[in-house]
Chains A and B, each alone.
Chain A
Amino acid sequence: MDAIGRAFRALFPPLLLFAAVVAVWHIEVQRRGIGAFLVPGPLLVAETLWEKREALLKATALTGAAALAGFAASLVTGVLVALLFSQSRAVRRAGYPYAIFLQTVPIVAVAPLIVLWFGAEFQSVVIISFIISLFPIVTNATEGLMNVDESLVELFELHSATRAQVLLRLRLPHAVPDIVTGARVSSGLSVIGAIVGEFSAGYGNQNFGLGYLIVQTSGLLQTPYLFAAVFMSTLLGLTIFGIVGSAGDWSTRRWRGTR
């Protein structure tokens, strides 16, 4: 009962805001007689969501798979790179500018090239999602691995701990909350990366993701359908963010006791 009450208290404010926004949206579209090509009303969007549910769900599943794959790859690679960075100042100095470089790459411009190099397939979308998600994990994880209390490091050394022990028993557990922070940021980016990837990749005849749907519906002026596809994209982003968040909380508790 208490849990239900808590859930209610947590969900009530955002839901109330959502209802208010939808109500204003509906009333204004009606009152001003705005055409659907400009702003479709919420009822029309809901209707389209239902009417196109099959295509939308299929597209969301495909984009979600690409985003999760890109995110997982960036998590693993990002932590490995950070471990490497934490071990040598020289490596860090040499590599860090390139990590920043990765963040400033205009992904929209590079996406068509990646598609040209790796084919208009699922893997290209994953690679684009990976590139855009990598940076926050590298920086946050490096930050966490480096910012360890010096006295703790001295304590480890006092007990003649090896370098590997310091890394795995002290630095890594210490960095978990930072890695989780990086992962949260990346989870949202991975969806954006997958959608941008699909703009250029497509996937072929009958299989298409949300990015493809967004391009298609905007080109064909199907604004209600476009709104529905964007809605599914945000829902997907929220879902992945939620999963990563819960997994993050769980691992923080596990690695560091409480937080």
Chain B
Amino acid sequence: MRRIVATLLLALLPLLAAAQEGAAKDRVSIVLNWFPEAEHGGYYAALVHGYYAEAGLDVEILPGGVDVPVLPMVATGRVQFGVDNADQLLLARTQQAPVVAVMAPMQVSPRCILVHESSGIQSFEQLENMTLGMSAKAAFSEWLLKRYPLAKVKIVPYPGNVSQFLVDKNYGCQGYNISEPIVARRQGATPRVLMVSDTGYNPYTSLLITSEKLAAEKPDVVRRMTEASIKGWRKYIEDPARTNAFINKLNPQMEMYILDEGAKLLVDMVLDEAAKRDGLGSMTAERWSTLVSQLEEIGLLKPGSVPAESAYTTEFLPAAK
């Protein structure tokens, strides 16, 4: 009898240990700035391949959507982490939201404008006599409006898909190069992609962002989160298959062909020269201050209101090799 009890207890031991291990995991959530797509791939990869779990983190990824206030949610501590772009982060900071970027997976912004190849338009200077579907609520729109003549260009809100683009030869619209052009091509259109990053406006994209409070109080959690996310991004650009299947299940509108092609394009956008030199996810003071002065130039930031160095920290990044 005693032996049975002992055996039972022995059998239960690993379970107990497992339970304890589970309890020791830090629960954090991370909210995305859009529906799950390829630009969030690395974070999902870290989840799917268990890198977060290995780092002792129990991570819940909250899909975003239209008008999800990512940065206010992070700033108020409602979620621990958020994913958003560098320009949004600076705009939030100028409104006293205490949020900081800790890792920049996408060195090149995927933001682009699609025009029909038949329009003959090859550069932003040539955008004229057309309708342009472009969101009013994005800083890059202001940049383009202030920077380029856009003669007789009628700006209309971007409807969120390429349907209008497909039917109107005289229409261009915004997009991410890893999504909209791929869809438009599949639907039989021949879009030309004008990358906004080529104009010099190139905010870091899909940044991992946390609050100043969490960074100060739980640096260990932030560090593990950052390292596991970087591992996820590396995996995603090498082998996105499982992650893409997962994203597709969460967001069936993102069909597999879009995700697969998108992930291929992402390789060079994640591992550009700077990332090859400084490591995946790295950020430089120069890039941040360039963006600050650009936003000041177009009047979205009051000069001097947000010091570039306050917006990010590299202390959680693994030391450069």
Interface residues of A (CB under 8 A from B): 35-38, 40, 112, 115-116, 120, 199-202, 204-205, 208, 212, 215-224
Q: How far is the CB of B240 from chain A (nearest CB, A)?
A: 29
Interface residues of B (CB under 8 A from A): 67, 69, 71-72, 75-76, 88, 91-92, 95-98, 131, 135-139, 145, 150, 153-157, 159, 164, 300
Given A218-B137, A219-B135, the answer on whether A205 and B96 have CB atoms closer than 8 Å is: no
Jot down 11 A-B pairs with beta carbons below 8 A, ordered by A: A35-B95, A35-B96, A37-B97, A38-B75, A38-B97, A116-B159, A199-B157, A202-B136, A205-B153, A205-B155, A224-B95
Q: How far is the CB of B141 from chain A (nearest CB, A)?
A: 9
Contact A216 B137, beta carbon cutoff 8 Å: yes
Contact A220 B72, beta carbon cutoff 8 Å: no
Closest to A225 in B: B95
Given A199-B157, A202-B156, the answer on whether A215 and B97 have CB atoms closer than 8 Å is: no
Contact B156 A37, beta carbon cutoff 8 Å: no
Contact B155 A37, beta carbon cutoff 8 Å: no
In whole angstroms, what is the CA distance A217 to B97 when docked? 16
Q: Which residues of A contact B91 (CB under 8 A)?
A: 220-222
* Interchain CB contact (< 8 A) of B155 among A202, A218, A224: A202
Q: Which residues of B contact A40 (CB under 8 A)?
A: 95
Q: Which residues of A contact B156 (CB under 8 A)?
A: 115, 120, 201-202, 204
Contact A36 B67, beta carbon cutoff 8 Å: no
In whole angstroms, what is the CA distance A195 to B88 when docked? 25
In whole angstroms, what is the CA distance A40 to B72 when docked? 13
Q: How far is the CB of B192 from chain A (nearest CB, A)?
A: 22
Q: Which residues of B contact A224 (CB under 8 A)?
A: 95
Closest to B95 in A: A37
Q: Which residues of A contact B67 (CB under 8 A)?
A: 218-219
In whole angstroms, what is the CA distance A112 to B159 when docked? 8
Contact B164 A116, beta carbon cutoff 8 Å: yes
Given A215-B136, A218-B67, A222-B91, the answer on whether A205 and B164 have CB atoms closer than 8 Å is: no
Q: Which residues of B contact A202 (CB under 8 A)?
A: 136, 155-157
Contact B92 A200, beta carbon cutoff 8 Å: no
Closest to B92 in A: A221
Q: Which residues of A contact B300 (CB under 8 A)?
A: 220
Closest to B300 in A: A220
Contact B136 A216, beta carbon cutoff 8 Å: yes
Contact A204 B137, beta carbon cutoff 8 Å: no
Closest to A35 in B: B96
In whole angstroms, what is the CA distance A35 to B76 when docked? 10
Closest to A119 in B: B156
Closest to B99 in A: A37
Closest to A34 in B: B96
Given A219-B138, A221-B88, the answer on whether A205 and B157 have CB atoms closer than 8 Å is: no
Contact B155 A38, beta carbon cutoff 8 Å: no
Q: How far is the CB of B139 from chain A (nearest CB, A)?
A: 7
Contact A120 B157, beta carbon cutoff 8 Å: yes
Given A37-B71, A215-B137, the answer on whether A222 and B153 have CB atoms closer than 8 Å is: no
6 other A-B residue contacts (CB within 8 Å) besides A216-B136, A224-B95:
A37-B95, A120-B156, A204-B155, A205-B150, A219-B138, A222-B91
Q: Which residues of A contact B75 (CB under 8 A)?
A: 35, 37-38
Contact B135 A200, beta carbon cutoff 8 Å: no
Q: Which residues of B contact A218 (CB under 8 A)?
A: 67, 137
Contact A38 B153, beta carbon cutoff 8 Å: no
Q: How far is the CB of A241 from chain B (nearest CB, A)?
A: 28
Given A215-B136, A219-B137, A221-B88, the answer on whether A37 and B96 have CB atoms closer than 8 Å is: yes
* Interchain CB contact (< 8 A) of B157 among A35, A37, A201, A223: A201
Q: Among the interface residues B131, B138, B153, B156, which one has the most CB atoms of the partner chain A within 10 A?
A: B156
Q: Which residues of A contact B72 (CB under 8 A)?
A: 37-38, 221
Q: Which residues of B contact A36 (CB under 8 A)?
A: 95-96
Closest to B157 in A: A202
Q: Which 8 A-B pairs have the closest CB atoms?
A: A219-B137, A35-B96, A37-B95, A120-B156, A216-B136, A37-B97, A36-B95, A204-B154
Q: How far is the CB of B158 from chain A (nearest CB, A)?
A: 10
Closest to B90 in A: A221
Q: Which residues of B contact A200 (CB under 8 A)?
A: 157, 159
In whole angstroms, what is the CA distance A199 to B164 when docked? 17
In whole angstroms, what is the CA distance A125 to B69 when docked? 27
Contact B95 A221, beta carbon cutoff 8 Å: yes
Q: Which residues of B contact A201 (CB under 8 A)?
A: 156-157
Q: Among the interface residues B139, B156, B157, which one has the most CB atoms of the partner chain A within 10 A?
A: B157
Contact B155 A220, beta carbon cutoff 8 Å: no
In whole angstroms, what is the CA distance A219 to B157 when docked? 13
In whole angstroms, what is the CA distance A112 to B300 when docked? 28
Q: Which residues of B contact A221 (CB under 8 A)?
A: 69, 71-72, 88, 91-92, 95, 97
Closest to B136 in A: A216
Q: Which residues of B contact A219 (CB under 8 A)?
A: 67, 135-138
In whole angstroms, what is the CA distance A116 to B139 when docked? 25
Closest to B150 in A: A205
Contact B145 A205, beta carbon cutoff 8 Å: yes
Q: Which residues of A contact B76 (CB under 8 A)?
A: 38
